[in-house]
Amino acid sequence: MKVIEALRIAMRALAANKLRSVLTMLGIIIGVGAVIALMSIGRGVEKYVTDQFAGLGSNLLFIAPGQISDGPPTLRANPVRSLTLADMHAIADRSLVPHVSAAAADFQTRVTVSRAGKTVTVQANATTPEYPRVRNWKTTVGSYFSELDSDERQRVVLLGADTYKDLFPNNEYPIDQIVQVNGMNFRVIGVMESKGGGPGGNLDRSIFMPLTTGQDRLFKQKTPNGEYRVTVIYASIDDSANIPLAQEEITQLMRERRGIKYLDQDDFSIISQNDLIAVFGDILGALTIFLGAIAAISLLVGGIGIMNIMLVSVTERTREIGLRKAVGAKRGDVLIQFLIEAMTLAAVGGMIGVALGWSLAQVVSTFFGEFQAVVGADAVITSLVVATAVGLFFGIFPAFRASRLNPIDALRYE
């Protein structure tokens, strides 16, 4: 009953100075709002990046030439010896690597693509027919090239979503239209669905053609033995549980093919899709916590503001405190009253801050298309608990000071 009465008195005291109470809560509001907004945006970025990597394909392994340096895995390597199309065929052979369901090769370079006076510079992906299956990437118009197109080195090309928009601004039907790739005519046979950004940049600003066509007619990047060079090989594993085993099998196969001796270091790298997701997830998770911690400094500022105002309130209400003590109120009653006032300021400010942070997160989500901020229940609860705890901590000294007042001196206070 004492707590309820103290809460009633505290609310009445805060309501008597509405503007001062609001200004006191402002530090808590800004602190909690910043924490909620930054953590929500950080988690949204983490989810967005994870989804982008997941969209690369199903249970993927990336095989690249050279050794990838320590740090976030990328497809930048220090080539010791190029990968070849024959390496891809060996990896795709289920008698050699039983857990590989499909494999694809990709040679990447920059090219200029022109049509009707419009010219764009994009990434060319000279690939194999299994590429869309391995990368889980479909066409929105037309279809991917076939084995026959690859065998006959047909000059056919598929356009990325942004490349299509640049070359066909009026949404013209692109199938069987002619575009020039580095000055050579190619027939458009399809448009790939939009993928957005990825590890290699904007995946939609690209074109796709048969690897054999690209290497024989455009790039002419072959090994001294006449084999087709590739930038990266993708291997799709039949089950996520088999990824570590498949990685070992591919490693052993590649070492044998490249004649690497027992104690020698690999001159190639194998990175799993899960490795990419885990590493970038850890980095973004740590960044989110760091941003949240910086924003939490505002809570300390808000707590200091609460202490300052509570000390002013104790001074202003000295006669009230003396009167309450004179009619029988104990030190504990006064202490609880002022603690509840401080905690109420912090808790109400925290709730307003949560609403503000959620609103900011939604505004950011609205302006950035596919990106969606993630407002977690744990962040909301933690922020409210911390805000209330800040109010309690910074309210202790003013409350203790009020409870220690001598009733005789307090009643004589002018």
Mean pLDDT of 44-50: 76
pLDDT digits (tens, 9 = 90+) for 65-82: 887 654 444 444 444 588
Higher pLDDT, 280 or 391: 391
What does DSSP assign to residue 228? B
pLDDT for the residue 114: 95
pLDDT for the residue 409: 57
Using 50, 70 and 90 to split pLDDT, how confident is the model at 253? Answer: very high
Residue 218 has pLDDT above 60, yes or no: yes
Q: Where are the beta strands (DSSP E) in 5-54?
A: none
Where along the chain do its domains lie?
A: 2-52+279-411, 81-266
Q: From CA 7, how far away is CA 140, in angstroms rounded?
A: 63
Q: From CA 345, how far away is CA 391, in angstroms rounded?
A: 7
Q: From CA 379, how far away is CA 33, in angstroms rounded?
A: 11
Average predicted confidence (pLDDT) for the chain = 82
pLDDT digits (tens, 9 = 90+) for 301-316: 888 888 888 887 777 7
Q: Please report, rounded to a whole number, the percentage of residues in the chain having pLDDT higher than 70.
A: 88
What does DSSP assign to residue 59? S
Helices within 93-242 (DSSP H only): 131-134, 147-151, 161-167, 211-213
From residue 305, alpha-carbon distances to 90, 332, 346, 352, 400 in Å are 69, 24, 10, 17, 17
pLDDT digits (tens, 9 = 90+) for 341-382: 888 888 888 899 999 988 988 888 887 766 788 888 877 888
What does DSSP assign to residue 263? T
pLDDT for the residue 152: 93
**DSSP string of 70-111, one letter each residue:** SSS--S----SS-EEHHHHHHHH-TTTSTTEEEEEEEEEEEE
pLDDT digits (tens, 9 = 90+) for 105-148: 999 999 999 998 899 999 999 999 999 999 888 999 999 999 99
Using 50, 70 and 90 to split pLDDT, how confident is the model at 163? Answer: very high
**DSSP string of 390-403, one letter each residue:** HHHHHHHHHHHHHH
Closest to 145 in 3D by CA, of 125, 166, 118, 162:
125
Residues 97 and 250 sit within 8 Å (Cβ to Cβ): yes
pLDDT for the residue 72: 42
Closest to 349 in 3D by CA, of 378, 386, 379, 312:
386
